[in-house]
Amino acid sequence: MTRADIGRVTGLSRPAVAHRVSDLLQRGLIVEDAEGPSTGGRPPMRLRFHAGGGVVPVASLGARRTQIAICDLAGEVLHRTDIDIDVEEGPGVVLPLLMDTWEKLLDGRDDVAGIGLGVPATVEFAAGRVESARVMASWTGVVIPPVIAERFGVPVLVDNDVNVIAMGEHRSVYAAELDDLLFVKVSTRIGAGVISGGGILRGALGAAGEIGHIPVRDGGGVLCRCGNLDCVDSVASGTAILRDLRAKGRDVASLADVTALVRAGDAETMAVVRQAGRWLGEVISGAVNLLNPSVVVLGGDVAEMFQPLVSGVREIVYRRSTQLATRSLRIERGRLGPGAGITGCALMVLDHVLSAQAVDAGPR
Ligand SMILES: [Zn+2]
Contact indicator for 47, 30 with CB cutoff of 8 Å: yes
Question: Ligand 1 centroid to 292 CA: how many Å?
Answer: 25
- Average pLDDT on 348-354 reads 93
Burial class (CB in 10 A: 0-12, 13-18, 19+), 292: middle
Cα(130) to ligand 1 centroid in Å equals: 20
Q: pTM for this structure?
A: 0.86
Distances in Å between the Cα of 243 and the Cα atoms of 212, 249, 308 are 17, 10, 17
Predicted confidence at residue 111, as pLDDT, reads 93
- Tell me the C-alpha distance between 49 and 346, whole Å: 16
Asked if 256 and 263 count as a contact pair (C-beta separation under 8 A), the reply is no
When comparing pLDDT for 138 and 97, which is higher? 97
Average pLDDT, the chain: 90
As a whole number, mean pLDDT of residues 310-324 equals 90
φ, ψ of residue 87 in degrees (nearest 5): -60, -20
pLDDT, greater one: 131 or 156: 156
pLDDT digits (tens, 9 = 90+) for 43-81: 778 999 999 999 999 999 987 789 999 999 999 999 999
pLDDT digits (tens, 9 = 90+) for 267-299: 999 999 999 999 999 999 999 999 999 999 999
Interval between CA 188 and ligand 1 midpoint (Å): 13
- Which of the four pLDDT bands, split at 50, 70 and 90, describes residue 363? low
Instruction: State yes or no: pLDDT of 227 exceeds 60.
Output: yes
CA distance 325 to 294: 8
For the chain, how long is the longest CA-to-CA vector? 79
Ion ligand 1: residues, Cβ under 5 Å:
213, 224, 226, 228, 231
Mean per-residue pLDDT for 196-212? Answer: 88
- Identify the pLDDT of residue 320: 87
Q: Which residue has the higher pLDDT, 28 or 338?
A: 28
Q: Give residue 281 CA to ligand 1 midpoint distance, Å.
A: 17
Question: 233 CA to middle of ligand 1, Å?
Answer: 6
User: What is the distance in A from the centroid of ligand 1 to the CA of 134?
Assistant: 11
Helices (H) and strands (E) counted in the chain, each on its own, are 14, 14
Q: How far is the CA of 279 from the centre of ligand 1 (A)?
A: 14
User: What is the whole-number distance in angstroms between the Cα of residue 192 and the centre of ligand 1?
Assistant: 14
Per-residue confidence (pLDDT) for residue 44, from 0 to 100: 78
How many angstroms is it from 203 CA to the middle of ligand 1? 19
pLDDT at 323: 83
Per-residue model confidence as pLDDT tens digits over 95-132: 999 999 999 999 999 999 999 999 988 888 778 888 76
